[in-house]
Amino acid sequence: MPYAAAVVLLLGGCGTAENDPENDPGPGPVATAAVSGDFSPIDVQFAQQLVPHHREGIELARLGAVRAQRPELRTLAEAIVATQQDEVILLTGWLATWKQDPPGPAASSKELAALRKTSGVAFERRFVTLLSTHQSEAIALARTESEGGRNRDALALAKQIQLSRTAEIEQLRTALGP
């Protein structure tokens, strides 16, 4: 179970170098109760694009949490579902606060439909490939926010996404093995 604890710490953004208080960034963006008022069109775009992206990721991760054979893949998928659900709530709250249109529903991909038709090792390999690609897309959205966003909470979330999704991709590849 040490793997599960590491996943929870990593995805929650709570782990710091040697738990040194000087390196501790404090509560992550998900813990932020209210978003700061200053925002730019890039901040809005970040939230509007990330919500449907996360909803699709939640659907993909839920499938992995149920169908993956390897416990470490199921545990990671469950943690991804929890993290992204929290982030969707946060992002939709920001959009409401900013009086911006909420995003549309997530599109269900053909890849997800094809994944549902696989099982066993083939499922796990395809799941890891799809989720790694999906998380790479989240990193790209977060980079755009980091490069041009203005809202400090959105910028903090973008940084957290870049770090956690990069680590998740590595964990996915490690869990799958050679």
Sequence spans of domains, the chain = 2-22+37-176
CATH T-level topology, domain 2-22+37-176: Ferritin (1.20.1260)
The pLDDT of residue 107: 67
The pLDDT of residue 103: 84
79/3 Cα distance (integer angstroms): 12
**For the whole model, what pTM was predicted?**
0.79
The amino acid occupying position 119 is S
147/155 Cα distance (integer angstroms): 9
14-23: Cβ within 8 A, 24+ apart: none
CA 71 to chain CA centroid, Å, is 20
Give the three-class secondary structure for 15: coil
The pLDDT of residue 36: 64
SS (H, E, C) 6-37: HHHHHHHCCCCHHHCCCCCCCCCHHHCCCCCC
Q: What pLDDT tens digit does each residue of the chain (178 aa) get?
A: 344 433 433 444 433 333 333 333 333 444 443 566 799 999 999 999 999 999 999 999 999 999 999 999 999 999 999 999 999 999 999 999 999 998 877 767 888 999 999 999 999 999 999 999 999 999 999 999 999 999 999 999 999 999 999 999 999 999 887 6
